[in-house]
Structure 1
């Protein structure tokens, strides 16, 4: 069985956050939704658990950061093409997100990325990569294209 990823995010309004992620293509799973938590899926293996701060605090004794002011994590989601990166970004903007809080990435024929900030300040990167082309662009041991 494939491993599953559950990204837990503290949000100020569960219904609003759920609507935002549904607007960009995630699917709400009602089996795991309550007044203080909502699960949305991007695929069979990638899920976001959107929780009120009170519910999120049940899982950590650490201070919950204000993602508008501090970064706790950068989440990257893959897309199937450059066009899909742009389409998802457009949906995020239309749903109230902010475009490109991180620098856009454009490495020609092998990698393209954009990002958005959701309603609670969480940064989601969108990336398309042709792995074979990327590997042939790099010389062994290099981190920049040859």
Structure 2
């Protein structure tokens, strides 16, 4: 069966610093689609983050590039397999230079935390009890 993929394109100030940040979170860089002005971060088999230097990003849009340190252009939410994995990933992000945002959300059946990456893009990490998801 065909599995649809998502390629999230994000404008970054420093491609090399962003590659280092995301590899410190445990993700890999696909060298086949990585250049001096673009990094292909493999988050899962179906989720790819394309980190584009701002000049390269501008090749794909005629719109002004948002400054994610001042405005919210997108909220990226990734699932985690457990509450502990939520805390682990956010902890790695903070240790790698990211910034925790907001307070943890704990609804019992759902737990989440957020961080901003080096460029200010907000990433939410969420665990949901499988029993609650299935109804």
Scaled by the length of structure 1, what TM-score is found?
Answer: 0.88
Matching of residue 2 in structure 1 with residue 30 in structure 2? no
Contact 1:111–1:134 under 8 Å retained in 2: no
> 2:105: which partner in 1?
105
> 1:122: which partner in 2?
121
> 2:75: which partner in 1?
74
Deviation at residue 135 of structure 1 after TM alignment:
6.1
> Once structures 1 and 2 are overlaid, which stretch shifts more, 21-30 or 125-134?
125-134
Give 1:87-98 correspondences, 5 Å limit. 87-98=88-99
How far apart in 2 are the matches of 1:58 and 1:84?
36
Gaps in structure 2 of 5+ consecutive residues: none
State how many pairs are aligned.
134
Indicate the structure with greater strand content.
Answer: 2
SS at match of 2:70: coil
> 1:54: which partner in 2?
55
Aligned CA-pair RMSD? 1.2
Deviation at residue 132 of structure 1 after TM alignment:
2.3
Task: Indicate the structure (1 or 2) with the bigger Cα radius of gyration.
Answer: 1
How far apart in 2 are the matches of 1:5 and 1:25?
19
- Provide, for residues 54-93 of structure 1, a one-character-per-residue CA deviation record: whole Å limited to 9, x for no partner: 0001111000011000000000001000000000011000
> 1:142: which partner in 2?
none
Gaps in structure 1 of 5+ consecutive residues: 137-146
Runs of 4+ more than 3 Å apart: none
